[in-house]
Amino acid sequence: MEHGLRSIRTVSNELPRRLTAVCAASMALKFAVRKFPQLVRISLAPVAAIAVVQYVSLWVYLSELVTFIVSGDPRTASVALGALTAGLFISVFISAVAVSAIADLLLGNRSERGWLQFSAGRQEWRVYAAYLRFLLLATGFFAGVYVATALLLPLFKWSPSLMAEGVALVALGGLVCLFARIGFLIPAIVARSRGTVLRKALYAGAHDFPRNLAIVLLLSTPAIAVEVFGEYLLRLGSSPARITIDLPVSYYAQALQHRLPEFVVLSSISVMIVLALLTAASVICYRDYVFDDRAVESAGSPVANLDSAPV
């Protein structure tokens, strides 16, 4: 009995501590640097595909938007929203393929292939299905923000621009928090377990939400830097323009159409950087979570194991 208690104390003292946000982000960055050639081969086809899909869907959306503003034909509005929705769903699927490939690379489950690496198997479809469910949750959140805004705005006498900025910040902050709480662990859970995904993600991230949120914010910084620096380089060749907020919407749509190729290239590269870093951090954190829980379980603690896949 005493020997058993001593063994439990020994194992408990040797349990790994939860990874900190800085440590997990550092490990993800080191993985990206060490596996940079493989990541480029994995990401080349998805980046090109996302850029093409975004360009086509946004071009159709902006064109139909301008037509709707001029003519008021509701059919053009339906076409515009349809093009935007189709582009979103296809982009999510391509991102799911890339995320699955990056997770396999980190776990050592991916064999060397040629430059054009794009395949969709069971694991990729599971990631895609989980992302669609997460997208549904995000849509519900945005709907809740819209309803709350419609009910609360009449009670305040703020300027329209200030209200719009506040609502945008709330929506963006809520989306980031929702992703850190549920979406962050989706790639790792799909790669390391079977069965339901969102429920496991909700359970696994219950006690690590502040850390996961910090990881998401830290690892989004490189992509934001690429986006800002790329836009700065693109503006060097053009004359500075005075920013106004009182122009018709059609003017902004036509201006975006003019710079659409540069926009989709920059956004596609930025999205892939974020996906690569967050996927690596997701697998690292989830592997640490499962190993920690199994160590506790082996010491006699009634902590339930989250999945049955070998670590």
Residue-number span of the structural domain to which 203 is assigned: 17-298
Alpha helices in the chain (DSSP H): 2-13, 21-34, 36-71, 74-107, 122-152, 160-181, 186-192, 198-204, 209-236, 249-258, 260-298
34: in domain:
yes
**What contacts 57, CB < 8 A, 6 or more positions away?**
83, 84, 86, 87, 88, 90
5: in domain:
no
Query: φ, ψ for residue 94 (rounded to 5)?
Result: -60, -40
310: in domain:
no
CA-nearest of 258, 22, 236, 278 to 127 is 278
pLDDT tens track for 75-101: 888 888 888 899 999 999 999 999 988
Residue whose token pair is 């519900």: 140
The 3-state DSSP class for residue 27 equals helix
Cα within 13 Å of Cα(18), Cβ side = 13
| Residue type (1 letter), 208 | D
Cα separation, 289 vs 205, whole angstroms: 9
Report the pLDDT value the prediction gives residue 311, as an integer from 0 to 100: 34
First-last CA distance in the chain: 30
Give the predicted TM-score (pTM) of the model. 0.77
The 3-state DSSP class for residue 303 equals coil
Note the Cα 285 to chain centre separation in Å. 16
303: in domain:
no
292: in domain:
yes
Cα separation, 208 vs 285, whole angstroms: 9
67: in domain:
yes
213: in domain:
yes
In the chain, how many domains are there? 1
101: in domain:
yes
Cα separation, 285 vs 33, whole angstroms: 18
The 3-state DSSP class for residue 240 equals coil
Report the pLDDT value the prediction gives residue 160, as an integer from 0 to 100: 66
pLDDT tens track for 120-147: 778 889 999 999 999 999 999 988 888 8
pLDDT, average across residues 232-236: 71
Give the confidence band of 218 by pLDDT, cuts at 50, 70, 90.
very high
